Amino acid sequence: MTSAADVGVRDTRAARDVREAHASPDPAARHGRRRRRDQRRQRLAAWAAIIVLGLFGLFPIYWMLVTALTPNELAFQFPPQLVPSEPTLSHFVDFFDDPTLLRFLFNSALVATLTAVLTLAVATLMGYSFSKFRYRGRASLMYLVLSSQMFPHALLLITLFMMYSSLGLLYTYAGVVLSFSAFTLPLCVWIMKSFFDTVPDSLLEAGALDGAPRWRILISIVLPLAKPGLLAAGLFAFVRGWNDFIFALTLAGPEKMTLPPGLVNTYLGEFQTSWPALMAASLVVSLPVVVVFISLQRYLVGGMVAGSVRE
């Protein structure tokens, strides 16, 4: 029979074996636990960085919304409130009740759309020419187009003003659209060229062998494949026309003025600024661009990386 002393000895040895096993684990197991612990720390650090950067980027937008919902008499209270105690939608209602601001909104939509259409039409033809044709002076023209981005746009404003005044284009939609398109065109040309470079020449040759003319090859073969590039260039041109300030302020005039200078002239005064109304109008103005960006995000990314992989 087993005595109580023998049982106690066996229990003591088992407990010691367990302690030794935990005190001296297998090196591979110890390395695996350390790696998992490091991976958890890295994930936590990455999420912490994402949260901090997200708060840094989104807080100004949140503060715009808080200010837009705050009554005028509480806009400068101290300490400021992160959540308005008496929220109001009156500033948004006032924006849509103001016919002058609605005219500025219409002007912005019209000018931005025409800028995108004109820029896309010219950039498509230029980019296709630079990508698929070989002729004397081609490289020089390409870099000449690119070098036009080196000049500060404000330096050309006086020249454009005088030229438009002599041609009768001052304070017209045509003058504003032409000025926006001229400064948007170089980057759009290179976006389209980079995307056309990814279209295999064998497809163009196959179309030519079937008897298709060049314009038919461009419309039926090349442009469907270049849809992401078209959307990326068009979106860039639209945003350029929607957000421009100095050219719209100088060349558009009071009747053709777009929203950016229109909001400044409406809400920013010499002695007083209506910050809640300005923030409400700014949110309304920003919303269409945000919606377009979100809906076309995948095409925009595809257009930006166009040309990184070639056949």
Sign for the pseudo-dihedral over CA of 245, 248, 250, 256? negative
Distance, CA of 280 to CA of 89 (rounded, Å): 9
Q: pLDDT at position 134, please? A: 85
Q: pLDDT at position 110, please? A: 93
In order of their start, the domains of the chain are 90-304 (1.10.3720.10)
The model's pTM: 0.76
With a cut of 50, list the residues of the chain below it in pLDDT. 1, 4-5, 7-9, 23-24, 307-311
